[in-house]
Structure 1
Amino acid sequence: MKKRPSNPFAHAFRGLQAAYLSERNVKIHLAAAALSVALGVWLELSMYEWLWISLSIALVFLSELLNTAMEALVDMVSPTYHPLARKAKDTAAAAVLVAAAFSLLVGGIIFIPKFWSIFAL
């Protein structure tokens, strides 16, 4: 029986779908990303500001996807509680926290001065 060639894009999109459907935080990060993009369009960000916003969004999604993969893998190999499984999950979650904090910092540096100039009395 001849094996059909694998479609890596199909696997990748299936992974995105699985993360979106199973992880509440993916939806929260997606909403935050959409809000950031909408604000960026409204505030007419510069090319470099878009670069920082885009990198921040990508970093958060990358860390969230890796966290989701790590959780699934740990659950598979350690279905019962184990301190090392807990450590792996907590560390992966910490990576998401660091990425989200970085994104908030970048967003604050870019958006706060723009809002200040618009709404200052």
Structure 2
Amino acid sequence: MDSLGKRYHRLVRSFGYAFQGLFNSLKNEQNMQIHFIAGTLVMIGAWILELPRNDYIVIFILIGGMVSLELLNTAIERVVDLVTEEYHPLAKQAKDIAAAAVLWFAIISFIIGCVIFYRPFINFVTNL
């Protein structure tokens, strides 16, 4: 196999590993399942309310950020668990800080979502 073929094969394989990580997380992590369901419901709500394109862009960024942070949080938890099975304050801090990053982004995403959805939702309800 030539150099270009090897690089292409490595690239395809790396995408495969990334998808394995995503699907493993979706299958085994309850929080990832919650984020996936919430993101799907948000997208359905955006479609029903016929939000403008710019709002969709913001929503996609927020959902992508949320999923990315949850994946990083899961990876950090796994690495900490791999390094030590014993309780250690630094291991706890690492896990807590990673979880806090997810929580903070979720709070900010919720606030932004309320700003985006408020007026279209009120208009939708009043026009029923």
- Whether the TM-score (by the shorter chain) exceeds 0.5 is yes
Question: Which residue identity is paired with 2:40?
Answer: A
Equivalent in the alignment of 2:32 = 26
Q: Structure 1: which 5+ runs fail to align?
A: none
Deviations 1:52-77 (A, max 9, x none): 10111011001000000000000000
Instruction: Give percent identity, aligned residues only.
Output: 39
Give the counterpart of 1:43 among 23, 45, 49.
49
Deviations 1:12-57 (A, max 9, x none): 0110111112210100000100001101111111111011101110
Q: Structure 2: which 5+ runs fail to align?
A: 1-5
Q: State the aligned residue count.
A: 118
* TM-score, scaled relative to structure 1: 0.92
* TM-score, scaled relative to structure 2: 0.87
Q: Which has the larger radius of gyration?
A: 2
CA distance in 1, matches of 2:25, 2:15: 15
Contact 2:73 2:98 in 1 (8 A): yes
* Greater percentage in helix: 2
| Residues 1:70 and 2:76 aligned together | yes
